[in-house]
Amino acid sequence: MPKPSNRLSLVILTILLLLLGGCWNRREVESLAFVMAAGIDKAAEGGKVQVTVQIARPAALVSGGQGSGAMERAFWLVSSTGYTPFDAVRNFSMQSSRRLFWAHNQWLVLGEEMAKEGIQDILDFSIRDGETRRRVKLAVFKSGKASDFLQTELEMERLSSQAYIGILQTGSLSSSSVVDIDIHHFLLALAGEGIEPVAIRAEMIHRPPDIDIRGQIEQIDISSAPRIAGAAVFRGPKLVGWLDRPETRGYNWVVGKAKSSIVVVERPDAPTKYVGIEMIRAGSKIKSEFTNGKPKITITIRAEGAVGDIQDMFVVMDTKTAVASMERQMATVITNDINAALKKARELGSDIFGLGQSIYQGYPKEWKQLRDTWNDEGFKEVEVKIEVKANIRRSGLTEIGTPVRR
Amino acid sequence: MIGRLWRRLRGRRDRKRWKDLSDASFSELQDYVESEVLTGDLKDTEEKIRGAFGNSSDLTLRYVNLGANPRVQILVAHLDGMVDVVSLTNGVIRPILEGTLYASEHISKEPPRRKVAYALLKQQLIHISTVKETDSLEKALEYIGRGFAVLFVEGVSRGLACEVKGWAERDVAEPGTEATVRGPRQGFVENSRVNTSMLRRMIVSPLLWVEEMQVGAITKTTITIAHIKGIADDGVVEEVRRRIRSIEVDSILESGYIEEYIEDAPYSPFPTILRTERPDKVAAALLEGKVAIITDGTPFALVVPATFTSFFVASEDYYERYFTGTFMRLLRIVAFFVSLISPSIYVAITTFHQEMLPTPLILSIAAQREGVPFVAVIEALFLELSFEFLREAGIRLPKVIGPAISIVGALILGEAAVRAGLVSSALVIVVAATSMASFISPIYSMAINVHLLRFPILFLAGSLGLFGVIMGLSAILIHLSSLRSFGVPYLEPLSPIVFPEWKDSLIRLPLWMMDTRPKLTAKKEFIRQDPKQKPRAPDKGSGDEADGQQ
């Protein structure tokens, strides 16, 4: 124990050390530009990439709410080019008064062109830097450059990146015709054996103006609106195709993410009327086995549903057989969706379901021989058996078939 | 006897008059008084007393005669305002005057008459129960100063001090700093005798030992040490005695003086001695084997040993049920942390770790800080200091304008500062919450010290972010672990872990669960109550006969 006088000088030295070191890494909040969404495209100049970022404007978000006249835009869109994304980001300093802050970024949107050529060159920036995160959603924009997508604005949220997150959440919850992929899961599939990655599909669709009344936002072209639906299929780092909504549903069934989706079946007693069944539980198991040197995959789907909606309840349905019939129909619908997805994936030559992974996990030695040609041959030829166990558990507040007096 | 004779001779020889000492220093005067001796000469005694008290207008001297023929003269000295005039008259003066005849007989019968007169006074005439004698001038002056009436008999070189104390005092009232919703509303007063009587009312055992000592050369303050013999550790009691005895100062005005002179960690910001105004709290502590120190002249008593958790305990925790008690304790712990680190956490996160906040929140904070010229640390410092000004000023404001100004001050300060763009509104809320939280601890000394520690942690947060905050907290934790209060580790029962005592530290389990006393303070008398105290339904078969067992 040092002498008291030495102790005091030790304390003073420590305090001086603090003052001497200063405060490195200090970033004042108002000197940061919060990136909400980022997009990467091929630049006009050859060999370069163009990074577009959507930067939030906090002042506009907080105050300019009940705007007088035109509402202030909640974000600022700015682009920069460079040889690599890192280079492009550094070049932002020529246009932005504030330093880009990536920790709150939620979207990485890729242009279709860029994705088709392969994204192996641009992913590293998102992984290596400490400030970017792997929970960022990865999307591919079908109808052009990513920067066009970032310009869109949606109702209900001031920042479109927040709006799209909301769409993803409600979309995967209520219809499961979207996929919710972030960079982390994309990379898992990219590096994994026997599985290919998918990404979120974003596009612009045409919409007649009278159906969707927009607010006070000035928009040049009201006839098209952004939409997130379906999936983008990759083979390795290259985009090879798209899944549309039913196919995406099938995909979600196979990978076990179809919870809360809706299956529409026909009423057993009145085939022109429909019954909407909401899934409360949806699980899937992929099992692989080898018979006679040939692989065989069994996909077991367990689906439990609750009746959500029955059209024209006049005609009373007999309960037991009605339910059994609806369950059979459910199974059929699900199987059809899965088959559609399987067909499309086989067309595109990309095993997005992880059937190969299942073989790899069960039979690694056999997988070694299959893996090189899996996507082109093995995947297309493997026998897939789909078993669906569908079950209707609940019917809401009334029993099936409440009569309506005519 | 030779010594006394010699002192008298020497006193006579180089005796200075009081007027020669008119520009002497205090200690010289003190020495002079100590060297003076009581003689039987009343005139001389009067001169000495008047010399010592100077021109003090409350000094009252009166000559009375005892006996008629022969007659013995008595000098009565007291301080007006310090004595109860009724007792003085009825207990001292009247008996002397009325007993004159009786005295005469006795005095004439048995010489030496003065000694007889003195003996008569002491044993038969004075109607006061507490009577003390002294043969030194210094002690006699002290008795006068304490409100005694001192009688000097001519020819007898002793003084007879009768206790007729009576002065204006504050009534027993609700303690100012530790008011409760439920519980006794008596607080200690400035008179230590009254305070000890309050303790005796609560603890009726004769084993509550109450010892007095005097500390302070000029103030001669009475310090009372109370403990329950058989529960308290005798080593601790002896240590308390030893420490108080070794205090050599000129004055003890408040228990805080004692606290600073005897505490275990004089440099630490954390108090190691508990102070309280409530007798029930002191009684509870005594029953746990702690030692109480009561200082005359202040209602604040000290309790040792004190651990960290004892500063977060309010007596109310025990009077309400365990659920409330536990919740209140946990609230205080949370408030402790809030008052210590909230502004620092805010500064650290918005300056170094913006990724930790949810996006809408960080955008809102960024929006508020647009246009604020200062760096977050400076802003926080500025606001904290303003609140300190407000708080300190609020204590000294007269009660009439106090509330108005504090409301105006707080509102206007906060609102206007935000409007002017000097601070951001989020920080105003953080600082306000911090200040509120700092007053939740029932013991002011702990609360205010901890509250001040937030400034160093704020600096650390501003320079090193959360890392700095953790460094600061670790430093505090290390410091706390090293503290001991009269032998008891400060963080006990948290470290060292003593599980049975957790029933009463951060939480408060029901009273019927607390069968034991704290181990470190009450080793000898460990068991407090019968373990089976939980209220429960009566056993079967013990119902009334009227229940009908035919």
Digit-coded pLDDT (tens) for B455-472 = 999 988 988 889 989 999
Of A119-123, B285-289, B444-448, B478-482, the one with minimum mean pLDDT is B444-448
Q: Is A22 on the interface with B (CB under 8 A)?
A: yes
For A296, the 3-state DSSP assignment is strand
Q: How far is B359 from chain A (nearest CA, A)?
A: 6
* d(C-alpha A242, C-alpha A139), whole Å: 12
Indicate yes or no: CB of B366 within 8 angstroms of CB of A131.
no
Of A62-76, B2-16, B184-198, B395-409, the one with minimum mean pLDDT is B2-16
Is the ipTM here above 0.85? no
Q: Is A11 on the interface with B (CB under 8 A)?
A: no
For A131, the 3-state DSSP assignment is coil
* d(C-alpha B437, C-alpha B342), whole Å: 10
Which 8-state DSSP code applies to residue B16? P
Tell me which residues of chain B have a C-beta less than 8 Å from any C-beta of chain A. 350-352, 354-355, 359, 362-370, 372, 375-376, 459-460, 462-465
Question: In terms of CA atoms, which chain A residue is nearest residue B357?
Answer: A104
| Average pLDDT over every residue of B49-73 | 85
End-to-end CA distance of chain A: 97
Question: In terms of CA atoms, which chain B residue is nearest residue A34?
Answer: B363
pLDDT tier at A351, thresholds 50, 70, 90: very high
Our CA dihedral for B231, B232, B238, B244, rounded to 10 degrees, sits at -140
Indicate yes or no: CB of B363 within 8 angstroms of CB of A58.
yes
Phi, psi of A183 (to 5 degrees): -60, -35
Indicate yes or no: CB of A18 within 8 angstroms of CB of B464.
yes
Q: Is A46 on the interface with B (CB under 8 A)?
A: no
Judged against a pLDDT cut of 50, whether residue B152 lies above it is answered with yes
| Domains assigned to chain A | 28-243 (no CATH), 258-406 (3.30.300.210)
The answer to whether residues A167 and A61 touch, using CB atoms and an 8 Å cutoff, is no
For B507, the 3-state DSSP assignment is coil
Q: How far is B373 from chain A (nearest CA, A)?
A: 10
Indicate yes or no: CB of A27 within 8 angstroms of CB of B351.
yes
* d(C-alpha A351, C-alpha A364), whole Å: 17
The answer to whether residues A122 and A152 touch, using CB atoms and an 8 Å cutoff, is no
* d(C-alpha B527, C-alpha B514), whole Å: 9
Digit-coded pLDDT (tens) for B520-547 = 777 777 777 777 778 888 877 555 544 4
Q: How far is B360 from chain A (nearest CA, A)?
A: 9
Judged against a pLDDT cut of 70, whether residue B9 lies above it is answered with no
* d(C-alpha A303, C-alpha B399), whole Å: 73
Residues 6+ positions from A109 with CB-CB distance below 8 Å: A37, A38, A39, A40, A139, A140, A141, A146, A149, A150, A202
Question: In terms of CA atoms, which chain B residue is nearest residue A158?
Answer: B360
Digit-coded pLDDT (tens) for B273-292 = 999 999 999 999 999 889 99
More confident residue, B80 or B449: B80
Neighboring chain B residues of A162 at a CB cutoff of 8 Å = 359
Indicate yes or no: CB of A62 within 8 angstroms of CB of B352.
no
The answer to whether residues B122 and B160 touch, using CB atoms and an 8 Å cutoff, is yes
Q: How far is A174 from chain B (nearest CA, A)?
A: 25
Q: Which of B365, B368, B462 sits opposite A23 (nearest CB)?
A: B462
Q: How far is B357 from chain A (nearest CA, A)?
A: 9
Neighboring chain B residues of A131 at a CB cutoff of 8 Å = 355
Average pLDDT of chain A is 84
Helix runs in A232-286, H state only: 245-254
* d(C-alpha A201, C-alpha A315), whole Å: 41
Q: How far is A69 from chain B (nearest CA, A)?
A: 21
* Percent helix, strand and coil across chain A, each to the nearest 5: 35, 30, 35
At position A308, the amino acid (one-letter code) is G
Partner residues linked to B276 by β-bridges: B301
| pLDDT-above-70 percentage for chain B | 93
Residues 6+ positions from B88 with CB-CB distance below 8 Å: B78, B149, B164
Q: How far is A201 from chain B (nearest CA, A)?
A: 24
Test the A interface: residue of B347, B354, B377, B425 with most A CBs within 10 Å:
B354
pLDDT at A402: 58
Digit-coded pLDDT (tens) for B413-446 = 788 888 888 888 889 889 888 888 888 877 888 8
* d(C-alpha B294, C-alpha B288), whole Å: 17
More confident residue, B208 or A225: B208
Test the B interface: residue of A10, A28, A136 with most B CBs within 10 Å:
A28
Indicate yes or no: CB of A29 within 8 angstroms of CB of B372.
no
Average pLDDT of chain B is 85
Indicate yes or no: CB of B351 within 8 angstroms of CB of A29.
yes
Residue B466's CB is within 10 A of a number of other CB atoms, namely: 17
Q: Of A290, A309, A287, A282, give the one whose Cα is nearest residue A298.
A: A287
Cα-based angle B395, B397, B403 (whole degrees, multiple of 5):
90
* d(C-alpha A26, C-alpha B464), whole Å: 8
Q: How far is A21 from chain B (nearest CA, A)?
A: 9
Q: Which of B366, B460, B464 sits opposite A58 (nearest CB)?
A: B366
Q: Which of A18, A27, A59 sits opposite B354 (nearest CB)?
A: A27
Test the A interface: residue of B359, B464, B479 with most A CBs within 10 Å:
B359
Phi, psi of A39 (to 5 degrees): -135, 145
Q: Which of B366, B460, B463 sits opposite A30 (nearest CB)?
A: B366
- Work out how many CB contacts closer than 8 A connect A with B: 71
Q: Where are the beta strands (DSSP E) in A16-131?
A: 32-42, 49-56, 75-82, 99-101, 107-111
Q: For A189, what's the count of Cα atoms within 13 Å in the CB-facing half-sphere? A: 24
Question: In terms of CA atoms, which chain B residue is nearest residue A14?
Answer: B460
| Average pLDDT over every residue of B119-144 | 87
- Token readout for A340 is 């559609």
Neighboring chain A residues of B375 at a CB cutoff of 8 Å = 28
Neighboring chain B residues of A28 at a CB cutoff of 8 Å = 350-351, 369, 375-376
Neighboring chain B residues of A136 at a CB cutoff of 8 Å = none
Residue B29's CB is within 10 A of a number of other CB atoms, namely: 15
Judged against a pLDDT cut of 90, whether residue A342 lies above it is answered with yes
CA distances (Å), A127 to each of A85, A124, A135, A136, B322, in order? 12, 5, 10, 10, 53
Indicate yes or no: CB of A29 within 8 angstroms of CB of B459.
no
pLDDT at B196: 95
Our CA dihedral for A357, A363, A366, A367, rounded to 10 degrees, sits at 10
